[in-house]
């Protein structure tokens, strides 16, 4: 990461030629590979709600209130295959809550398959 990179979510970052390399990593989802170590350590799952950034206070509080935060975070999840960076925090919360209520092996398989499709099609990523 470059020095002085803004500390904001990627969907809020304005286009800049200085972040070209990072943009490619993000579009191809290669930036997620280091999270495999988090899975090995048991801190994450493949499937689950994406971890919130420390400064996404509204998202964090709503997830706590709805018990979504009781789920282990994942590399991909229901919200990611239904909009990724193109959805609002409220939509993300609704989708995460849907996952909490309907969590199953079948849903996890669906999410995994749709994740591969999304990554290969490079859609809904800023």
Q: Which of 69, 80, 88 is CA-nearest to residue 47?
A: 80
Tell me the per-residue pLDDT of 44-57, one tens digit each, with 9 for 90 and over: 999 999 988 888 99
Count Cα atoms within 13 angstroms, Cβ side, for 10: 16
User: Angle 32-37-40 (CA atoms, 0-180°, nearest 5)?
Assistant: 125
Q: What percent of the chain has pLDDT over 70?
A: 71
Tell me the per-residue pLDDT of 86-124, one tens digit each, with 9 for 90 and over: 889 999 999 999 999 999 999 999 999 998 888 777 655
Count Cα atoms within 13 angstroms, Cβ side, for 66: 20
Lowest mean pLDDT, pick from 23-32, 53-62, 107-116: 23-32
Relative orientation angle of helices 89-102 and 57-65, to the nearest 10 degrees = 30
> Would you state the structure tokens that stand for residue 6, as one six-digit string?
């803004």
What CA–CA distance (Å, rounded) separates 8 from 54? Answer: 10
Average pLDDT over the chain, rounded to whole? Answer: 82
Q: Which of 84, 77, 108 is CA-nearest to residue 26?
A: 84
What CA–CA distance (Å, rounded) separates 119 from 106? Answer: 20
Residue 43 has pLDDT above 80, yes or no: yes
Residue 72 carries which DSSP code? Answer: P
């Amino acid at each position: 990461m470059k020095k002085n990179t803004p500390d904001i979510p990627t969907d809020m970052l304005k286009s800049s030629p200085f972040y070209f390399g990072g943009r490619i990593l993000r579009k191809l989802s290669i930036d997620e590979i280091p999270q495999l170590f988090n899975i090995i350590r048991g801190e994450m799952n493949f499937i689950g709600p994406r971890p919130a950034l420390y400064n996404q206070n509204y998202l964090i509080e709503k997830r706590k209130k709805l018990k979504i935060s009781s789920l282990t975070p994942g590399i991909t999840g229901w919200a990611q295959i239904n909009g990724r960076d193109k959805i609002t925090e409220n939509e993300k919360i609704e989708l995460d809550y849907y996952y909490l209520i309907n969590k199953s092996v079948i849903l996890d398989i669906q999410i995994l398959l749709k994740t591969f499709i999304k990554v290969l099609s490079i859609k809904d990523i800023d």
